[in-house]
Structure 1
Amino acid sequence: DVDEFDLSPDGRWIACVTNEDGVGVLHVINAATGAERRIPRLPAGLISDVRWRKSGAELGFTRTSARAPADAYSLELASGTVTRWTESETAGLNTGDFAEAELVHWPSFDGRAISGFLYKPPARFAGRRPVIINIHGGPEGQSRPGFLGRNNYYVNELGTAIIFPNIRGSTGYGKTFTKLDNGVLRDGAYKDIGALLEWIRTRPDLDADHVLVTGGSYGGHMTLVTATQYDGPICCSVDVVGISNLATFLQHTSGYRQDLRRVEYGDERDSTLRAWMERTAPLNNVDKVTKPLFIVQGMNDPRVPRTEAEQMVAALKRRGVPVWYLMAKDEGHGFRKKGNQDFQFYATILFTERYLLGQGGSATP
């Protein structure tokens, strides 16, 4: 996909940014011939806000990477010199030590290559490392190699690797790929995570016996599906404002969203689609769950109603599965207030230490 472009004031050059497997790649193209001008290749990251100077001799842009939030850069066309003009505030952290994103691929059930970004902990953490799989929401979305912020704590301090997969249904790979999870085709997206779990086992640097899966919104739905369909390969899950049953979600989400979401998930009023939703719903498969879950929800969520979380928590408790439940009375679809964000972050660290890293403690917080 092409993210953005800008034509030089003299009309000679086109600068464009392409989304290549999630990485933002800058190109400069001769407007008359279509030939691409050779420019320095930047490390994996995101590029935006591409603008030419009036002279057409220099190009400005914003670059974000795993080691830096958004900063201003320029490219001098004649010399190919790239200059960084700003150093974003990082509260004194040495971001040069942060892990760079590694683009990885694995084959899924149908032979299709699925990609994602792997962040590995520093070398001082020896041996196979525990893994966090963090699935993006949407599903029309994409994980890209930007700045991880506080997620760097899991990598740098806890020694866990993080994988951000872009399963079928993600954007950035063309319309066909985005539609590969519509309706009952969603089974394919579920299997993409199963294939990732198998791929992790082939890596000598990753510990396939210590895997936590997490995600928010649709990523939370994928988390709950993984907890039910792949209970064996994982050891715990963190679901944030996730959907526990597509049918009940479509019935109770805000009216302005219902028809839009039915295009993506299918119409729950259709008996055939309803049967598939009920058959695959995590809520109706809790008997397959044996590993601890942490479920996070906002009371005032207009998108994924709190009933999706509450019904899942109740079903898990009836089966005696260890489940933590954090519900904020003053939040909606995801936590926005800093105090709540901090509480969620620290609680998730505690859950991760206890159930992923096996650092002990009681079954309830």
Structure 2
Amino acid sequence: MKNGLPDAIDVVEAKTSKIDAVDFENLVFGNVFTDHMMICDYVNGEWQNPVIKPYGPIELEPSAKVFHYGQAIFEGMKAFKDDQDQVWLFRPEDNFNRFNKSSVRLAIPEFPKEFFFEGLETLLNLDRDWIKKGFGNSLYIRPFVIATESGVSASPSKSYKFMIICSPAKAYYSGEVRVVFAEKFSRAADGGVGYAKAAGNYGAQFYPTNLAKEEGYQQIVWTDANTHEYLEEAGTMNIFFRVGDKLLTAPTSDRILDGVTRKSVITLAEEHGIPVEVRRVKVQEIVEAAEKGELKEIFGAGTAATINPVKGFGHQGKKFELPELEDSYATFFKKELMNIQYNKSEDKYGWRYLVKN
């Protein structure tokens, strides 16, 4: 290694590809993985040279600290292929910076930028055929890091494993989505790890989400932990509310994830003259807007789903349905974002990142 750069990324190619056995028209999100993965170990105080090898199991000690103290963080990204077979990433530096921000919060050593991008591009070129053309088709990219030191003392690990795995994807959610506003459970609290992509944030959501599903809802809109008076996030997405022609969304904080898609929607709204207010949004404000017929839309924004419209919501036993709109903000933002992601429109913001072949 010289000046923090890998001398060379070791590549071990798969002897055969699984791609011919995959039904790309009927993918279940996150269930199928490409032929290769990237691995990089942290030992003796530094990150080693990255290795790309065939996708497969890894071996860990039962006492590895990730199992006992939850030192694990991840990111979610996507690669898109345009009509000329060029492969693009969308705002990957934002994902990389957030990855290291999450690492710092979990006392994990920051990952080198050069390793991240050189390894990712090598991996994407190796599995390039898994990225299919056409709107809605993409390759979901999951970088993550786990604590691997053996030992059950309650202290940060001295060794870690960084990995990237990739999964071909179509639409994340299918069918209609309805949400319930949280009244008891919380996703995150002040001073906690809500702003980080910590694995435990998501594991803790599963139980209350299961309860919501029993009531006929697909997701929960989380409220603040102190009073449950303010709306913050929805499941794995940031959340937007359209009241009249105005767009409302909560500000980022140490409880709310600084979503890449969220930031992009806000920029697009401002660019196209759509009034947007980034402020705390009260539950009662949205309930009253729905009762008066002023609540036009709710939609989630995130990497996996891009933009996901919400058909209705529940609060304190009451159910509210949202109107069907021909020209919805959700449809507009999704089209604008996808046109940029798939290289079908000008990228005046510098969001696209070309993966060089």
Per the normalisation by structure 1, the TM-score is 0.26
More contact order relative to length (CA 8 Å, sep ≥ 6): 2
From the CA coordinates, give the structure whose radius of gyration is larger: 1
Per the normalisation by structure 2, the TM-score is 0.26
